[in-house]
């Protein structure tokens, strides 16, 4: 059997390719349409799991899952908006900020301890975000900070980075009551329902949805396959090793996406962004250890 870190590395590589496929799709598709199509294809891909598990889930757990899915839907949509508006190499490193909010929320809500290395990890996350906003040689220390304060993109990323850990904490409660297959199928079902409801509320024409889905089908399907496969490999890695060992490797996806996305889309200030991604991945390691 392959070692756990092989599964973690595969999960990271697959996940690192997702923002690149998303950027490719979003050149000709609006974020809400992509989110709905993506949720639909993800649900289709996980539906075979129904044949391997009992889908009778208690109502109170379904209610928690719906709340979690609503929070995750808002977070996902905001991140997709960011991917459309900004370079992949600027957004990918910032996705690591999820770990900061998870650590802080775990401290206040779950009573988990924050040690010196955790504060060092948070510090590295902040440093990484600062490096991204630097332009050329620093003449004014406050310039990147002022840029961060005014950045709509960073505000959306931070909002998503706060929401994802909240959803994750609810999911932790859910997964103590049901198995992984039940969770995966039900969670994807709720995500599909959420985005479908929003699309219907926005009065998108059926004709437009059909045309856009047909034009973007290949890339959305590829993105969905990468997402589902990445989750499965990550789950396998976690089943063989401690989460604290798996997550730092898994989060190198941001570094992979930064390097590949920057190269493919010919983005600027790449050395600076790669440095930022590397700093933040090391910060994740400290937070997860």
Domain that holds residue 12: 4-131+139-288
Mean pLDDT of 201-211: 90
43-99 pLDDT, tens digit each: 999 999 999 888 899 999 999 999 999 999 999 999 999 999 999 999 999 988 888
Number of Cβ within 10 Å of residue 98's Cβ equals 21
> How would you label 54-70 residue by residue, b for 16+ Cβ within 10 Å and e otherwise?
eeebeeebeebbbebbb
User: pLDDT tier at 119 (50, 70, 90 boundaries)?
Assistant: very high
Query: What is this structure's pTM?
Result: 0.89
234-274 pLDDT, tens digit each: 888 877 887 778 888 888 999 999 999 999 999 988 988 99
* Beta-carbon contacts of residue 287 (< 8 Å; ≥ 6 apart): 99, 100, 102, 103, 118, 121, 122, 125
Question: Please, are residues 4 and 246 in contact by the beta-carbon 8 Å criterion?
Answer: yes
Q: What is the pLDDT of residue 5?
A: 87
8-31 pLDDT, tens digit each: 999 999 999 999 999 999 988 999
132-149 pLDDT, tens digit each: 877 655 666 777 778 788
Number of domains in the chain: 1
145-201 pLDDT, tens digit each: 787 888 888 899 999 999 998 998 898 889 889 888 899 999 999 999 999 999 999
Q: What is the pLDDT of residue 67?
A: 97
Closest CA to 38 of 279, 222, 264: 222
Does pLDDT of 1 surpass 60?
A: no
- Whose structure tokens read 């931070």? 158
User: pLDDT tier at 4 (50, 70, 90 boundaries)?
Assistant: confident
């Amino acid at each position: 059997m392959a070692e756990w870190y092989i599964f973690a590395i595969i999960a990271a590589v697959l996940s690192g390719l997702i923002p690149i496929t998303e950027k490719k799709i979003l050149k000709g598709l609006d974020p809400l349409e992509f989110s709905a199509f993506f949720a639909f294809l993800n649900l289709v891909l996980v539906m075979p799991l129904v044949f391997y598990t009992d889908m009778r889930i208690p109502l109170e757990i379904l209610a928690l899952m719906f709340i979690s899915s609503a929070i995750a839907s808002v977070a996902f949509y905001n991140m997709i908006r960011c991917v459309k508006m900004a370079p992949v190499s600027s957004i990918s490193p910032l996705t690591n900020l999820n770990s900061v909010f998870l650590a802080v929320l775990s401290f206040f809500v779950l009573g988990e301890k924050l040690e010196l290395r955790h504060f060092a990890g948070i510090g590295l996350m902040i440093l990484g975000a600062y490096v991204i906003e630097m332009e050329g040689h620093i003449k004014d220390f406050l310039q990147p900070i002022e840029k961060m304060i005014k950045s709509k993109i960073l505000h959306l990323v931070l909002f998503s980075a706060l929401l994802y850990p909240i959803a994750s904490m609810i999911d932790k409660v859910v997964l103590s009551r049901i198995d992984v297959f039940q969770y995966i199928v039900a969670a994807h079902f709720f995500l599909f329902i959420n985005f479908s409801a929003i699309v219907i509320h926005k009065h998108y024409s059926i004709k437009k949805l059909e045309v856009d889905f047909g034009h973007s089908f290949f890339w959305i399907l590829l993105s969905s396959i990468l997402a589902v496969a990445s989750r499965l490999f990550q789950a396998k890695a976690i089943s063989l090793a401690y989460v604290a060992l798996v997550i730092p490797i898994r989060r190198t996806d941001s570094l992979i996406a930064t390097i590949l996305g920057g190269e493919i889309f010919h983005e600027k200030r790449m050395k600076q962004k790669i440095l930022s991604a590397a700093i933040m991945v090391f910060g994740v390691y400290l937070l997860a250890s």
